[in-house]
Chains A and B, each alone.
Chain A
Amino acid sequence: KAGVTQTPRYLIKTRGQQVTLSCSPISGHRSVSWYQQTPGQGLQFLFEYFSETQRNKGNFPGRFSGRQFSNSRSEMNVSTLELGDSALYLCASSLQLAGSTDTQYFGPGTRLTVL
């Protein structure tokens, strides 16, 4: 069974631009969660989508948004990029909601660098 895939793996953008990251969950998984990982702040929860609906959201500005498609694939978008948005963005999928005891499976991440 294929794991969680994220594209692209690496991305370089400049301040003010916008970016879209993609996550394909494990087949059959309906929940996709997004996390931002930085050396200073560690792993921070961005949002979770389940059956095309946003079920939970972390403390991030409105520049960060996402969506989920009917095939459970998810995208996250960051508009008006800032230097501080440079991070590893991880997505995780699970059968049930992330808040359950169900195991979350993580993708390898997208490394975003903002210049």
Chain B
Amino acid sequence: AQSVTQLGSHVSVSEGALVLLRCNYSSSVPPYLFWYVQYPNQGLQLLLKYTSAATLVKGINGFEAEFKKSETSFHLTKPSAHMSDAAEYFCAVRSDDKIIFGKGTRLHILP
């Protein structure tokens, strides 16, 4: 079964700095990969998804992720962090007709 690992349960970046949230997957077949964001007391919202088309995927709110098969990675980036980006981010993979989520990374934005 496929799985995802998110490196770092907490990440802090300064406002205006680069955001980099790491996700590695394990998959024996070409994966479908997702990034979701969860704001406090809310459900999850899809940021972007990779479905074996372009390796660089652009999502909402200025986020993007690059699928790197050689590194089995799907890291999420944003060039310039904003205070409103503070939230928890989940990487997920489709596995056996289910969506399997990573443990999540809480992003803190420092003023």
Residues of A that sit less than 8 Å from B by CB: 4, 33, 35, 42-45, 48, 55-56, 58, 90, 92, 97-99, 101, 103-109
Contact = CB atoms under 8 A, between A and B. Distances in A.
Given A42-B104, A108-B42, A101 B99 contact: no
A104 B42 CA distance: 15
B17 interface: no
Interface in B17-49: 32, 36, 41-46, 49
Q: Which one of A4, A104, A108 has the greatest number of beta carbons of chain B within 10 Å?
A: A104
Contacts, number: 53
A103 B98 contact: no
Nearest to A106: B43
Given A106-B43, A106-B44, A108-B41, A99 B94 contact: yes
A104 B45 CA distance: 8
A4 B46 contact: no
Contacts of B51: 101
Q: Which DSSP category, helix, strand, loop or mixed, fits chain A's interface?
A: strand
Nearest to B104: A42
A4 B90 CA distance: 19
Given A56-B97, A56-B98, A103 B46 contact: yes
Nearest to B90: A43
B98 A43 contact: no
B44 A90 contact: yes
B41 A42 contact: no
B104 A101 contact: no
A99 B103 contact: no
Contacts of A109: 42-43
Nearest to A91: B43
21 contacts: A42-B102, A42-B103, A43-B101, A43-B104, A45-B99, A56-B96, A56-B98, A58-B98, A90-B43, A98-B98, A99-B98, A99-B99, A101-B32, A101-B49, A101-B51, A101-B94, A103-B46, A106-B36, A106-B44, A106-B45, A109-B43
